[in-house]
A and B are shown apart, each in its own frame.
Chain A
């Protein structure tokens, strides 16, 4: 349904052009949940925003590639047609529910806007739909909550409202950019469960962007691991957790505390070094300077994303040629 091919997104900066997304290819089937994992600044959010056409241009620009959504190339779509897709066929949930709602309007007011923009509903009808939607995302007493302002709601409630807004027009694709990062752990679980339930109910495909491998394990069917704008490894979730191949993926997994580990037997491992700035990336594999299995070829040649199994692709010289 969504198919991204060789997407390159550049940013003009005072110190030259950098590539936040550098040749990413991904695809998403109907009703599928794809996780995109990576550290901060690896281009996950830029990827999501580019699908919606919401990158600030300038400084951002699309340097190459295609984004096909239901066989239309989004990048060639005129602005207004793209706008009509947003909220209608593609929805998005943001990381910060605290700031993603306009403080001067009631929740209902903002929810109604979606119905009015896309379905031309009158006030009364839009209000009824909004109440219904709020009930659907598990907001208690929706008739009262629609009249409240964002500051009167807790973080979890606001995220539910954001989800209601994103799903209001029953989109086919939902982009969730770190939807639970800003929430308490207990609320995180509720929100994730809600998203799963709504997905089952509405058949929405979800692209879940996160840095939390636990969330990925719980929610997704397929995972892409991103590092500095490139995909390092992509596999079905089960495969990735059973048999992670890329040293970066292994590093990420080693950094998660395990419930069954004791303090003496298993210390957390860390990935040495820091994510290089996008302005001074090494040639060859971007992960080479931090990689425990680095070889000479890694420093000069970019590893291609190679299928090592039908459902497992990895971009690493050590794995494919080591």
Chain B
């Protein structure tokens, strides 16, 4: 009776989570990534309680103040100010909300679209499959940045449009991953067995196929969140992202670029924030992949 062990008393679906969590806690990378990620989310949600500042308030008399540890800096502006005298720390904190919101929502949009199309494509095959996969090829062949920029240019830049565009241009990865897993799952004998007792196709697809292809998507999702955050930063850098004046990491980079020789903190600190967030998510994703892997192999082949 492998895999049951000390979680035997739990109901089965909880046992799966408990086991995954246990496997995660054995990997130092995942623990560090996870803790960092939880900390980032906690700070991004809770900072107004501890550091209530207005990210838009300009103080033209205190422009380009360096961080507090550098000469000329003060604890009134722990991470300094930008060219308009706005507090860099609070802007970075606000930026984290935008990045995380866009990252997770876009992944949600992409995975819902990708999972649906991938399931249909892989399970029904034939012409439906051809159509969806060729559509995917078109999306793959089209430069993503160009697509995003043109759509944003037409629809106007709002955070909602951004999420939609980023999400819809990323469905292909999910659809292909899902389709591949479905192709192998649908050949399994238990699918044949389900059909032999007269289970309708759509029930087989949702009940028998879908749960068996879910774990790769969980891993893929975490990795893609990181990617989307980078894309969002890139688009904001180009002025195509979340509209001003809402502070985002990408736009902070773009605006700070001009002052890079005089005020290093304007580009370095938001850049560091991006890096830490991506790092934590990637570490967590890697750990999750390793933790879920035995379960993938648990499906007898």
Distance (whole angstroms) from the CB of B6 to the closest CB of chain A? 15
Within 8 A of B (CB), among A4-59: 52, 54
Interface residue stretch chosen among B106-114, B137-145, B203-211: B203-211
Within 8 A of B (CB), among A69-107: 83-88, 91-92, 94, 96, 98-106
Set B2, B190, B301: member contacting A100, Cβ < 8 A: B190
Please measure, in the bound complex, the distance between the C-alpha atom of A290 and the C-alpha atom of B76, giving whole angstroms.
Answer: 96
Please measure, in the bound complex, the distance between the C-alpha atom of A224 and the C-alpha atom of B109, giving whole angstroms.
Answer: 57
Contact with A along B1-21 (1 / 0, CB 8 A): 111100000001000000000
| Interface residues on chain A, number (Cβ under 8 Å) | 34
Asked if residues B207 and A113 are in contact (CB atoms below 8 Å), the reply is yes
Distance (whole angstroms) from the CB of B256 to the closest CB of chain A? 49
Asked if residues A165 and B193 are in contact (CB atoms below 8 Å), the reply is yes
Asked if residues A104 and B195 are in contact (CB atoms below 8 Å), the reply is no
Set A92, A96, A117, A152: member contacting B1, Cβ < 8 A: A152
Among A91, A100, A114, the one with the most B-chain Cβ atoms within 10 Å of its Cβ is A100
Asked if residues B190 and A99 are in contact (CB atoms below 8 Å), the reply is yes
Within 8 A of A (CB), among B3-45: 3-4, 12
Set B12, B190, B197: member contacting A149, Cβ < 8 A: B12
Set B2, B193, B198, B300: member contacting A103, Cβ < 8 A: B300
Q: Which residues of A contact B203 (CB under 8 A)?
A: 113, 117
Q: Which residues of A contact B194 (CB under 8 A)?
A: 102, 110, 113
Asked if residues A91 and B196 are in contact (CB atoms below 8 Å), the reply is yes
Within 8 A of B (CB), among A141-166: 147, 149, 151-152, 162, 165-166
Tell whether B52 is near chain A: CB-to-CB under 8 Å. no
Asked if residues B196 and A117 are in contact (CB atoms below 8 Å), the reply is no
Tell whether B212 is near chain A: CB-to-CB under 8 Å. yes
Asked if residues B196 and A114 are in contact (CB atoms below 8 Å), the reply is no
Q: Which residues of B contact A165 (CB under 8 A)?
A: 193, 197
Distance (whole angstroms) from the CB of A268 to the closest CB of chain B? 32
Within 8 A of B (CB), among A162-196: 162, 165-166, 168
Please measure, in the bound complex, the distance between the C-alpha atom of A59 and the C-alpha atom of B158, giving whole angstroms.
Answer: 50
Tell whether A118 is near chain B: CB-to-CB under 8 Å. yes
Set A84, A101, A147: member contacting B198, Cβ < 8 A: A84
Asked if residues B199 and A94 are in contact (CB atoms below 8 Å), the reply is no
Query: Given A94-B189, A105-B207, are A151 and B196 also a contact pair (CB < 8 Å)?
Result: no
Set B12, B199, B212: member contacting A106, Cβ < 8 A: B12
Among A96, A102, A114, A152, the one with the most B-chain Cβ atoms within 10 Å of its Cβ is A102
Tell whether B75 is near chain A: CB-to-CB under 8 Å. no
Within 8 A of A (CB), among B206-229: 207-208, 211-212
Asked if residues B208 and A117 are in contact (CB atoms below 8 Å), the reply is no
Among A52, A91, A96, A99, the one with the most B-chain Cβ atoms within 10 Å of its Cβ is A99
Tell whether B192 is near chain A: CB-to-CB under 8 Å. yes
Asked if residues A94 and B196 are in contact (CB atoms below 8 Å), the reply is yes
Asked if residues B212 and A104 are in contact (CB atoms below 8 Å), the reply is yes
Query: Given A106-B12, A113-B207, A152-B4, are A94 and B192 also a contact pair (CB < 8 Å)?
Result: yes
**B188 (CB) vs chain A CBs: closest residue:** A99
Query: Given A113-B199, A113-B207, A117-B200, are A100 and B12 also a contact pair (CB < 8 Å)?
Result: no
Please measure, in the bound complex, the distance between the C-alpha atom of A86 and the C-alpha atom of B195, giving whole angstroms.
Answer: 8
Q: Which residues of A contact B299 (CB under 8 A)?
A: 103
Q: Which residues of B contact A110 (CB under 8 A)?
A: 194
Tell whether B70 is near chain A: CB-to-CB under 8 Å. no
Please measure, in the bound complex, the distance between the C-alpha atom of A103 and the C-alpha atom of B12, giving whole angstroms.
Answer: 12
Please measure, in the bound complex, the distance between the C-alpha atom of A107 and the C-alpha atom of B189, giving whole angstroms.
Answer: 15
Distance (whole angstroms) from the CB of B163 to the closest CB of chain A? 31
Distance (whole angstroms) from the CB of B18 to the closest CB of chain A? 15
Asked if residues A101 and B197 are in contact (CB atoms below 8 Å), the reply is no
Q: Which residues of A contact B3 (CB under 8 A)?
A: 151
Asked if residues A94 and B193 are in contact (CB atoms below 8 Å), the reply is yes
**B195 (CB) vs chain A CBs: closest residue:** A54
Please measure, in the bound complex, the distance between the C-alpha atom of A25 and the C-alpha atom of B199, giving whole angstroms.
Answer: 29
Write 19 A-B pairs (CB below 8 A) sorted by A numbering. A52-B196, A86-B198, A87-B196, A92-B193, A94-B193, A94-B196, A99-B190, A99-B301, A102-B207, A104-B211, A105-B207, A106-B12, A110-B194, A117-B197, A147-B12, A149-B12, A151-B3, A165-B197, A166-B197
Which 4 A/B pairs are nearest by Cβ-Cβ distance? A87-B197, A87-B198, A86-B198, A92-B196
Known: A86-B198, A99-B188. 18 other contacts (CB 8 A): A52-B196, A85-B198, A86-B196, A92-B193, A98-B300, A99-B190, A100-B193, A102-B207, A106-B12, A110-B194, A113-B199, A113-B203, A114-B197, A117-B197, A117-B198, A151-B2, A166-B196, A168-B197
